[in-house]
Chains A and B, each alone.
Chain A
Amino acid sequence: MSALAHPLAPDERAVSARDLAWLIGSLLLVIAPHSMRAPWWLTALTLCLFAWRYSYALARVKLPSRWLVLGVAALAMLGVWIEYRTLFGRQPGILLLSLFAGLKLLETRSHRDAAVAAFLGYFLIITNFLYTQSMPTALLMCAALFSITTTLIGFSAPQRAPRANARTAALLLAHAAPAALVLFLLFPRVQGPLWGLPQDAYTGMTGLSETMSPGNLASLAQSDAIAFRAEFEAELPPPALRYWRGPVLWDFDGRTWSIGTGPLVEFEPPQGGRATYRYAVVLEAHNRHWLFALETAASLPERARMRFDGQLISTTPVRNRMRYQLTSVIAPEQAEESGGVLRRALRLPPRANPRTVELAGQMRAGAASDEEVLIRAIDFLKAGKYTYTLEPPLLGLHSVDEFLFSTKAGFCEHFASAFTFLMRAAGIPARVVTGYQGGELNPIDRVFTVRQSEAHAWVEVYLSNRGWVRVDPTGASVPGRIESGLARSVPAGEPLPLMMQQRLEWLRGVRYQWEALAHKWNLWVLGYSPERQRDLMSAIGMRDADWRALTASLFSILGLITLGLLAWSLRHLVRQDPVQKAWGAFCGKLAAQGVKRAPQEGPRDFALRAARTLPAAAWTILRIGALYIALRYGARARAKGVERLKRLVRGLRLA
């Protein structure tokens, strides 16, 4: 029996040009987003492979020999290696995979090979999510999923019209949805990763870095990407207080400020303070340890520590979107800083920026206190007619001197760097703080959005009687920056990120709607984590649900869903034809009066005989007979007639 060719076995069925066209179309949908990241020659090669295979199908000739295919594969791998110097990273790995999809097609003869290529297509869908899980990507991938499924159905039913196959695919996906939802919610989630990830797994994330040199904040500020979102419980802080503290930079080598090393400290909630804000932050992945807090953090999120300089540090790098609750307080009391820290806050590279050092000397001379030096420095910046620009001129060896005395144009990192240097040279401990300043409230969902374009750098100086005090030299010389944001502070004509541009007011409403939706998507779909699962379980009454409880409930619900589907599949089959049912009821009523239909008796003869036997109801009986014949054997008038037949039979009174 098994020796016979089996016409349903996928090994036995040759791929037709139609199957191939569907398969290629589906694969193109899946790899389209990758092509934007791939080198052009790889995309072109993959397309050529598809076209090559399809031409074979049209010409109905034998496929190329295995050796030729292997040769192309080897060449492609060599090309990828030359491009990336490795084959195993995320990017080269995925590109090779999409290339192999094309190569697999070149040796696809039977439906079995084609089905394996379709499964590869399913797998390629997930590779897109490594780069972005946004709603548009999800929609495109839904289309790809639908297309691949239609393709697979086409393999099983080669004679069927593609439209019918697409309908079946839609039905299958609709039937899959309940089970998918239950699995999504209840499948026991574990915190990944299970093993080491490739070196380049987390590249391409934007954000602040451990260092700051002239120009790098300005380039970050041209990105529209969202840094984080915050939801405040009560009112928002006023614009002047919207300083989101990030990495604190201590060490300066004459050009670059860096974060340096520093101990983590035991967290102690600060005392006093002017105002308290409670909020939740949804931080985008940036592959670093630090978290952002408004001004001074007065609480510590889960799995986070605090550095000696007040910076919040996550125990693991933020590689996925992360949500944390936080309380902040404005200007609390400060403990006295240790001498070691203050000495570090005074350190300067030797022989750098002589003019600035000289200026600091002049400011210090004759000043009664540190505060007076500070005021003189701020006045100096205010009077200096400095320009705030996203395109700062390049700086040479003595970067601070050049900025302060000759170029006089820069972005916030130039101001912060120069001011900190000036303070240290004048003997006042100072440090650079990077983070974000500003943010935008979405009126739709009252979520506060902070973008990369709001990246900022400012200074904290240590005054012996007040502790660390924030000074924003950018704000001092370009006051509009803090009050009204980046867009109104840079000269007109400079390239601003699209979202910051003023003239697209009409786009704003659409954008707010879209971002509110995207935030919900992030929170509820993408942010469904082990913690959220625990919350959901306790919300429905399963406190402390471990994986066993989850698996048990999961399988019982899946069983119920399958039973439901089975019942559905029987529904169409068991249900009797309504016309036949009404006719059966009619025959039953007549039989109760002694007029039994003989098995060979047709409906017309039976109705005539019954009408003669029961003359009182003759008219109705004849109408029912005629209607039944019309519905059963006629070509037209379905739904209405069925209803009338039912009504007539129900209303038939014989006794």
Chain B
Amino acid sequence: MIAGFIDRRPKLANWLYGFTPPERGTVVLVHRRVYIVPARLGWIFGATLAILLVGSINYALSLGFALTFLLTGMGLAGMVHTARNLARLAVSAGRAEPVFAGESAQFRLYLDGRAAFDRPAILARHLGSGAQLVVDIPSGALVEVVLAVPAERRGWLPLGRVMLETRFPLGLFRSWSYVEPDARCLVYPRPERSPLPPRGADTAAGALRSPVPGNDDFSALRGYQPSDSPRHVAWKAVARSDDMLTKQFTGEAAAELWLDWRLLPAALGLENRLSRLAGWVLAAEREGAQYGLRLPGVEIAPERGDTHRAACLQALALYQETTA
């Protein structure tokens, strides 16, 4: 209830949590940002101490007093140790590889112990999704935490707030801190499997321009590139020489493959059209075709390869419908 109240008031939350999100670079958890409260076990421990104290008084047990007070001191020391387990931890975010909507974005956080002691049992939890992981940070080590955050929608997915929590060493106290590193993950539209549009589709009319497939006319051999489809490798030529060669086709393949927004019916809706286009990009890449992408206001010239594919998918992910 209180958490909800605070979260609805960002300014209050920023003041309370001691930072303004998102935070760039490395975030050091200064003491100001590390909170601590007794855990449930802490209350039980307190009750045990009370019973021990009453027993010591009642039976006038000097060693009972000594035990009670030693345990009290241990509770105090435990509190400081629990806070220390998080204090001055340095958190930075790594790169998150793009994913398709419906998959999980793999956010990488780096927890740098920056201390001569180890920091065991630290929980990193993504508050939005509940993705969580417990890690031990050895002394002076840097530990990578991968939080798998479900990516529901295309576009940029910001990491959001992450809670770091620990109860080490005694479990009597719960210490935690929030960070919101400046990390985001690109989410491509959810790809929809469908047959590729015909080559050289007439963009203007939306009719087919030429039914001729683009990889018929063999023109020459060229050096192999890693992105070339295995079906285009000149295996016979490879058998004769040691070089990998790729068959090149001329292209009235000029009948290029255009993955065009307008090939899809408007009735499909924006997201579905983008999904269909994403599916086409994947299929075209799989076939080893040269393909271009046309969106309203965006045109990416035909090309192939991973970079091209990524550019196309990014354009789809970030596409904003400008006109109403």
Contact = CB atoms under 8 A, between A and B. Distances in A.
B58 A194 contact: yes
Contact of A145 (B67, B121, B167, B170): B67
B120 A565 contact: no
Interface string A555-570: 0001001100110111
Nearest to B83: A569
Interface in A271-329: 319-320
Interface string B19-60: 000000000000100000001110011001001101111111
A133 B78 CA distance: 27
A122 B67 contact: yes
B66 A184 contact: yes
Given A156-B120, A160-B120, A569-B87, A1 B66 contact: no
Interface stretch (A173-181, A616-624, A632-640): A173-181
A572 B115 contact: yes
A328 to B, nearest CB: 28
A640 B56 CA distance: 53
Contact of B59 (A116, A169, A193, A570): A193
Nearest to B163: A1
B87 A141 contact: no
Q: Taking each of A1, A172, A201, which has the highest tally of chain B beta carbons within 10 Å of its own beta carbon?
A: A172
B72 A183 contact: yes
Given A129-B61, A175-B77, A180 B120 contact: no
B72 A153 contact: no
Given A8-B121, A175-B73, A126 B67 contact: yes
A513 interface: no
A561 B76 CA distance: 9
B80 A565 contact: yes
A159 interface: yes
B166 interface: yes
Nearest to B55: A126
A168 interface: yes
A520 to B, nearest CB: 13
B165 interface: yes
Interface in B117-174: 117-118, 120-121, 123, 127, 130, 132, 134, 136, 165-171, 174
Interface stretch (A259-267, A523-531, A644-652): A523-531
A145 B57 contact: no
Interface in B51-109: 51-52, 54-74, 76-81, 83-84, 87-88
A191 interface: yes
Contacts of B3: 1
A7 B74 contact: no
Contacts of A526: 62-63
A375 to B, nearest CB: 51
A153 B78 CA distance: 10
B114 interface: yes
Given A126-B67, A178-B73, A569 B80 contact: yes
B267 interface: no
Contacts of A568: 80
A158 B120 CA distance: 9
B116 interface: yes
Contact of B70 (A129, A155, A180, A197): A180
A195 interface: yes
The SS class assigned to the B binding surface is: helix
B80 A562 contact: yes
B61 A138 contact: no
Contacts of B68: 126
A122 B71 contact: yes
Contact of B74 (A159, A173, A189): A173
A180 B52 CA distance: 14
Given A168-B169, A176-B77, A125 B59 contact: no
- Counting chain A residues whose Cβ lies within 8 A of the other chain, the interface size class is 35 or more
A4 interface: yes
A110 B70 CA distance: 27
Contacts of A137: 63
Contacts of B84: 569
A115 interface: yes
Contacts of A156: 120-121, 167-171
A207 B130 CA distance: 68
Interface in A112-149: 112, 115-116, 119, 122-123, 125-126, 129-130, 133, 137-138, 141, 145, 149
Contacts of B44: 115-116, 119
Contact of A7 (B40, B52, B81, B134): B134
Contacts of B170: 149, 152-153, 156, 172
Given A153-B169, A157-B168, A7 B132 contact: yes
Contacts of A45: none
A319 B60 CA distance: 9
A539 interface: no
B131 to A, nearest CB: 10
A573 interface: yes
A111 interface: yes
Contacts of B45: 119
A592 interface: no
Nearest to B65: A184
A122 B61 CA distance: 15
Nearest to A159: B136
Given A173-B74, A192-B60, 12 more contacts: A8-B121, A8-B165, A126-B56, A141-B63, A152-B171, A156-B171, A169-B169, A171-B81, A192-B57, A193-B58, A194-B57, A197-B58
8 contacts: A6-B123, A8-B166, A115-B44, A119-B44, A138-B63, A149-B170, A168-B81, A558-B76
4 A-B pairs closest in CB distance: A176-B73, A179-B73, A175-B77, A183-B69
Interface of A: 1, 4, 6-8, 10, 111-112, 115-116, 119, 122-123, 125-126, 129-130, 133, 137-138, 141, 145, 149, 152-153, 155-160, 164-165, 168-169, 171-173, 175-181, 183-184, 187, 189-195, 197, 201, 319-320, 525-529, 558, 561-562, 565-566, 568-570, 572-574
Interface of B: 3, 31, 39-41, 44-45, 48, 51-52, 54-74, 76-81, 83-84, 87-88, 114-118, 120-121, 123, 127, 130, 132, 134, 136, 165-171, 174
